[in-house]
């Protein structure tokens, strides 16, 4: 297991270098240098902020040196300071001369987005497993057809549109659920149970929206996986020795059909993080997505580059976690019998 | 191909896509009003006989704007996926044909691109460029070629070992001939399927970007930016946000149905499984 883990960690290194290269290239994608595009975009950008940008990315030095500096900053997790007037550090908290601590922007936003993503991953698994199993067991009969229709609509519905509609119906027209932020104004005065209920009401629509696309995909995936497994010989054997159908399906088939699910969940992480942009900015949730959108609108380059890099590293960690979980769940992978 | 056309999913998908394409193509003939004509006497009218989908905050006819918007959404979808497919086919073919270190480098690049959350990547690039319809196509194209690359590479890797390719190689066929005459034509099925499915997701991404104000810029109509207008008026004018959303949903549904239908029909493995 340790060797497997070390091997996986070793393979992450070239990917990290690649990520640093891609993000570096994006920064140099703009015609001219970053500072002039910014000026072209935002006439209000002052000479001072342009100078800051030049200094931050060492734009006056040769390209290779610039990349060296960028790599160094990535390794030390120092993504500089936001251009916004609050001048907060991009990633981690920093203490100034007077001992005032200013909290990092990403440090503050990340847990919120992680919470939403973990909740929606949970919702996806809880709903997709039964849907997929029912669909597979009733293949080509009415329940399967109904679930397939749901899956196709789930794939096709634009998340931001559904969010807008739910926001209007549940939040404005009927005022059942709050439509912005993470907490109510009186949050501080609630007891623990009240606090949880309050957060749940605020998170209900955003979590549902971010889960929907994945839910459709993963229930289809569970269905096809179950169909594959149900046609295998050991299932016939299990049925032949007279096991109840439920035992065959849940004990013998589902366990094997669930294995690839771990990998798929790991792979869905970048989509979930990326998808948080629209939901978070629509519902004014101060997570990574909203931070990113705001930074893009203000051309706050240090924050953009910081989030891009951290987002990619998170995805790598997610995939690593999925692979380790897979190895833990499937002894064949752990012992290196199959890759 | 006959098998594909007799697949019910593919038929539904085809019907939906064909009607949307026809509407888009004949938009100037069908549209009852000029999509950009402002009419202060007809602001926020609800759907009626004259204005089938109502009017927006500037008195423009929503139905006409939807028709012209469909051209933009479809154009962006096709061109973006065209770019992605071209890049994917070239890189995948090179990786699968030459193998070795070329393959390793290309596949690591795929891994890197897949690890950066796509929507973040698109937004970041847009932040450095001016948002315009051409930039959107290029950016979506440049950030969605990874799937095709993997597909083509996998096809090439397995086809390369087949007798007919080895025979051609023994007969002294050049690399280019092997690739274009023997390998590529035999790996087109998954490319077609992924092209169709790709258009669906490109339409979704474009509408999302336009919705955020970073895509197609007004006054040019796109489904996404009609929806942005709709957001402002959602309390008084449901039709402004309802119709564009439905249009996006139907379009994406159409391409997904066609794509999955084609996959079912063209992939002998899943066909067998469906018969069970």
Q: What is the ipTM of this complex?
A: 0.81
A182 touches A243 (CB < 8 A): no
Taking the model in full, what pTM does it have? 0.84
What whole-number distance in Å separates Cα of residue A63 and Cα of residue A70?
A: 10
Query: What separation in angstroms does the CA of B101 have from each of A120, B74, B92, B106?
Result: 39, 38, 14, 9
- Chain B neighbors of A156, CB-CB under 8 A: 200, 248-250, 252-253, 256
For position B84, what pLDDT does the model report?
Answer: 95
The domain spanning residue B39 has which CATH number? 1.10.3720.10
What whole-number distance in Å separates Cα of residue A135 and Cα of residue A145?
A: 8
3-state SS class at B32: coil
Nearest neighbour of A14 by CB, restricted to B108, B130, B200: B108
For position B271, what pLDDT does the model report?
Answer: 44
CA distance A35 to chain B (A): 10
B181 touches B95 (CB < 8 A): no
What whole-number distance in Å separates Cα of residue B76 and Cα of residue B82?
A: 10
Mutual angle of helices B62-98 and B238-266, in 10-degree steps: 30
For position A36, what pLDDT does the model report?
Answer: 54
Cα torsion angle, B2, B15, A217, A253, sign: negative
Choose, out of B128, B209, B241, B273, the residue to mutate when testing the contact with A (most A CBs < 10 Å).
B128
CA-nearest residue to B224 within chain A is A161
Decide if pLDDT at A46 tops 70: no
Question: Tens digits of per-residue pLDDT, A63-100?
Answer: 788 888 888 877 877 777 777 767 778 777 776 667 67
Cα torsion angle, A256, B117, B149, A327, sign: negative
For position B7, what pLDDT does the model report?
Answer: 78
**Alpha helices, H only, chain A:** 2-27, 34-41, 47-56, 63-75, 105-137, 142-156, 159-166, 192-230, 233-240, 245-247, 254-267, 269-282, 288-298, 301-329, 331-334
3-state SS class at A102: strand
Tokens found for residue A75: 């390794």
What whole-number distance in Å separates Cα of residue A248 and Cα of residue B178?
A: 49
pLDDT tens, position by position, for chain B (276 residues)?
566 667 788 888 899 999 999 998 888 888 788 887 787 777 777 787 777 788 877 778 888 888 888 998 889 999 999 999 999 999 999 999 888 899 999 998 998 888 888 888 888 887 777 778 888 899 899 989 999 999 999 988 888 888 888 888 888 888 888 888 888 888 888 898 899 999 998 998 888 888 888 888 877 888 888 888 888 887 778 888 888 899 999 999 999 999 888 887 776 555 444 433
Residues of B numbered 246-265 whose beta carbons fall under 8 angstroms of chain A's beta carbons: which are they?
248-250, 252-253, 256-257, 260
3-state SS class at B61: strand
CA distance A261 to chain B (A): 18
Residues of B numbered 150-169 whose beta carbons fall under 8 angstroms of chain A's beta carbons: which are they?
none
Query: What separation in angstroms does the CA of A250 have from each of A134, A229, A327?
Result: 11, 12, 21
- Chain A neighbors of B235, CB-CB under 8 A: 168, 172
What whole-number distance in Å separates Cα of residue A94 and Cα of residue A19?
A: 25
| Cβ-based neighbours of A339, under 8 Å, separated by 6 or more | A333
Averaged over A242-259, what is the pLDDT? Answer: 84
Does B113 contact A22 at a Cβ distance shorter than 8 Å?
A: yes
For position A5, what pLDDT does the model report?
Answer: 78
Counting the structural domains of chain B, the total is 1
- Chain A neighbors of B114, CB-CB under 8 A: 270
Asked if omega into B219 is within 30° of 0 (cis), the reply is yes
Nearest neighbour of A299 by CB, restricted to B112, B116, B127: B127
What whole-number distance in Å separates Cα of residue A54 and Cα of residue A59?
A: 5
Tokens found for residue A174: 């009927």
Does A312 contact B207 at a Cβ distance shorter than 8 Å?
A: no
CA distance B199 to chain A (A): 12
Averaged over A146-156, what is the pLDDT? Answer: 87
Does B120 contact A161 at a Cβ distance shorter than 8 Å?
A: no
What whole-number distance in Å separates Cα of residue A270 and Cα of residue A282?
A: 20
Residues of B numbered 213-252 whose beta carbons fall under 8 angstroms of chain A's beta carbons: which are they?
214, 227, 230-231, 234-235, 238, 241-242, 244-245, 248-250, 252
Does B118 contact A26 at a Cβ distance shorter than 8 Å?
A: no
B207 touches B80 (CB < 8 A): no
pLDDT bin (cut points 50, 70, 90) of residue A296 is confident
Neighbours of B76 (CB within 10 A): 28
Decide if pLDDT at A39 tops 70: no
Tokens found for residue A267: 């792979």
Question: Tens digits of per-residue pLDDT, A266-287?
Answer: 877 777 787 788 888 888 888 8
Decide if pLDDT at A29 tops 70: no
What whole-number distance in Å separates Cα of residue A75 and Cα of residue A63?
A: 18
Mutual angle of helices A288-298 and B118-128, in 10-degree steps: 10
Does A37 contact B128 at a Cβ distance shorter than 8 Å?
A: yes
Cα torsion angle, A121, A126, A130, A133, sign: positive
Nearest neighbour of B112 by CB, restricted to A19, A37, A277: A19
**CA distance between the termini of chain A:** 14
For position B275, what pLDDT does the model report?
Answer: 36
Q: Give the structural domain span for B56.
A: 2-275
Decide if pLDDT at A265 tops 60: yes
Decide if pLDDT at A41 tops 50: no
A57 touches A79 (CB < 8 A): no
Cα torsion angle, A218, A147, A279, A304, sign: positive
Question: Tens digits of per-residue pLDDT, A4-26?
Answer: 778 878 878 888 888 888 888 87
Nearest neighbour of A22 by CB, restricted to B116, B242, B274: B116
B23 touches B201 (CB < 8 A): no
- Dihedrals φ, ψ of A61, to 5°? -105, 170
What whole-number distance in Å separates Cα of residue B92 and Cα of residue B151?
A: 7
């Amino acid at each position: 297991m340790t060797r497997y883990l070390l091997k996986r960690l070793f393979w992450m290194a070239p990917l990290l270098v690649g990520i640093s290269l891609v993000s570096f290239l994006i920064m140099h994608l703009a015609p001219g240098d970053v500072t002039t595009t910014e000026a072209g975009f935002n006439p209000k950008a002052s000479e001072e902020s342009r100078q800051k940008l030049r200094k931050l990315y060492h734009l006056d030095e040769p390209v290779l040196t610039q990349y060296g500096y960028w790599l160094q900053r990535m390794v030390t997790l120092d993504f500089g300071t936001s251009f916004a007037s609050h001048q907060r550090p991009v990633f981690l908290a920093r203490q100034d001369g007077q001992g005032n601590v200013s909290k990092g922007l990403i440090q503050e936003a990340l847990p919120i987005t992680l919470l939403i993503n973990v909740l929606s991953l949970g919702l996806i698994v809880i709903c997709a497993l039964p849907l997929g199993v029912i669909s597979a067991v009733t293949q080509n009969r009415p329940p399967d057809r109904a679930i397939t229709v749901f899956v196709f609509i789930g794939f096709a519905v634009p998340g931001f549109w559904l969010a807008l509609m739910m926001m209007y119906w549940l939040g404005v027209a009927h005022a059942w659920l709050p439509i912005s932020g993470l907490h109510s104004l009186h949050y501080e005065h609630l007891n623990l149970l009240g606090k949880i209920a309050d957060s749940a009401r605020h998170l209900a629509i955003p979590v549902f929206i971010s889960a929907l696309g994945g839910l459709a995909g993963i229930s289809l995936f569970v269905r096809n996986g179950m169909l594959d497994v149900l046609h295998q010989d050991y299932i016939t054997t299990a049925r032949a020795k007279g096991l109840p159908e439920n035992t065959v399906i849940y004990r013998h088939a589902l366990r094997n059909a669930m294995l690839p699910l771990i990998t798929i969940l790991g792979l869905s992480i970048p989509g979930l993080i990326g998808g948080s942009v629209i939901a978070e900015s629509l519902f004014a949730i101060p997570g990574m997505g909203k931070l990113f959108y705001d930074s893009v609108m203000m051309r706050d380059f240090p924050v953009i580059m910081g989030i891009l890099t951290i987002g990619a590293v998170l995805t790598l960690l997610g995939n690593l976690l999925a692979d380790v979980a897979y190895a833990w769940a499937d002894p064949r992978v752990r012992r290196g019998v199959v890759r | 191909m006959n098998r594909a056309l007799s697949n019910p999913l593919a038929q539904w998908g085809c019907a939906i896509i064909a009607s949307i394409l026809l509407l888009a193509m004949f938009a100037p003939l069908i549209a009852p009003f000029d999509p950009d004509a402002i009419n202060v006497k007809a602001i926020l009218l609800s759907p009626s006989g004259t204005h089938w989908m109502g009017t927006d905050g500037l008195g423009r006819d929503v139905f006409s704007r939807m028709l012209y918007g469909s051209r933009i959404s479809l154009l962006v979808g096709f061109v973006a996926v065209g770019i992605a497919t071209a890049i994917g086919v070239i890189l995948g073919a090179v990786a699968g044909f030459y193998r070795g270190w070329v393959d390793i480098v290309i596949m690591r690049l795929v891994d890197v691109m897949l690890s950066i959350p796509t929507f973040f990547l698109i937004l970041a690039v847009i932040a450095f460029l001016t948002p315009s319809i051409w930039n959107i196509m290029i950016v979506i194209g440049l950030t969605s070629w990874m799937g095709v690359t993997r597909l083509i590479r996998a096809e090439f890797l397995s086809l390369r070992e087949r007798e007919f390719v080895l025979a051609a190689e023994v007969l002294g066929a050049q690399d280019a001939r092997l690739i274009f005459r023997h390998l590529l034509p035999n790996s087109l099925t998954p490319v077609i399927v992924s092209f169709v499915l790709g258009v669906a997701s490109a339409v979704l991404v474009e509408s999302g970007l336009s919705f955020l104000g970073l895509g197609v810029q007004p006054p040019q109509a796109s489904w996404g930016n009609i929806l942005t207008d709709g957001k402002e008026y959602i309390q008084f004018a449901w039709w402004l946000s309802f119709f564009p959303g439905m249009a996006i949903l139907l379009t994406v549904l159409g391409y997904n149905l066609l794509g999955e239908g084609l996959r079912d029909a063209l992939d002998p493995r899943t066909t067998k499984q469906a018969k069970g």
